[in-house]
Homo-oligomer: A and B are copies of this chain.
Amino acid sequence: MKSVFRSAICSTLAFSLRSLNHIPNRNSLILLPRYVLVSPSKLSTLTSMATGDSVSHSPHSPALHSLEKQFEEFRHQLDDSGSLRERIRTVASEIESETRLIHSCLLLIHQSRPITEVLEKAKGQIGVLRELYVKLAEIMRECPGQYYRYHGDWRSETQTVVSLLAFMHWLETESLLLHAEAEEKLGLKPLEFGLDIEDYLIGICFMSNDLPRYVVNQVTAGNYDCPRKVLKFLRDVHAAFRMLNLRNDFLRKKFDGMKYDLRRVEEVHYDVKIRGLTMSGNSTGYQEGDEGRS
């Protein structure tokens, strides 16, 4: 029993060694999912690898040999991380085309199709997204502690996903989709593969960019109460963002853009107000929303 336990530790060390070298090599790709089940043989190879370099320049092995030995190892590791990256990118591009599908569904909202109908279709697609993120999580499970190493390969796709989910959530509840809710919808388990906060925040900024267009089209369709609601929502979100000390990066830039969305919505709200336009009991599924708020 003890020996098994020790081997468990050893292999773990072997992994962390490798994941310090930050590239799971073939062994680890096989081993990672199940830690303890390590065959003694494999174990020895692991440990030898763990200590390989120091061995390699023992007086008995010439410098050149240890040099080749090291680069041979690097080659495996770079190849592994390369193929890993390939697999990640494949899933990421699947996510991307899935989001395009969802986006097309949601675009109908601008042609003032009944919200319920539009949401129906769009929500039908979320399951696929969910599965893709499970795939991604599985891939990342092969290289613990390297989430941020490959983060760049899925982050922009994920930001778009968040913006779509948040927009759908607004349509449904007229409230902001929370970070935890987003993870829930995508079946992300924080302990394994979570949603990066900045990706979430950038996604919210993206959603905000769509709101002025939405408001304009809703008013055109006679939904005169929409600007007021969106304005209230956008002001809350904007105020919430202002609580954050953003450093001078992409998120900051996106957030700075939010104020223009806010202004545009205010203008539309102004147009409606100054013309004394009021809800003429529209039929775009806002009744409950209205009772709830106005």
Q: Which residues of A contact B (CB under 8 A)?
A: 8-9, 12-28, 30-31, 35, 50, 52-54, 56-57, 63-64, 66-68, 70-72, 74-75, 77-79, 82, 85, 97, 100, 103-104, 107, 110-111, 140, 144-149, 151, 173, 175-176, 178-181, 184, 190-198, 200-201, 213, 216-217, 219-220, 235-247, 263, 266-275, 277
Contact = CB atoms under 8 A, between A and B. Distances in A.
A64 to B, nearest CB: 6
B67 A236 contact: yes
Contact of A82 (B220, B245, B275): B245
Contacts of A72: 243
A266 B110 contact: yes
Contacts of A191: 12-17, 20, 23-24
Nearest to A86: B247
Given A145-B147, A266-B220, A22 B196 contact: yes
A11 B219 CA distance: 48
Given A111-B235, A272-B274, A193 B25 contact: no
Q: What DSSP secondary structure best describes chain A's contact surface?
A: helix
Nearest to A66: B178
A115 B74 CA distance: 30
Contacts of A30: 8-9, 12, 35
B25 A244 contact: no
B18 A190 contact: yes
A246 B78 contact: yes
A209 B111 CA distance: 20
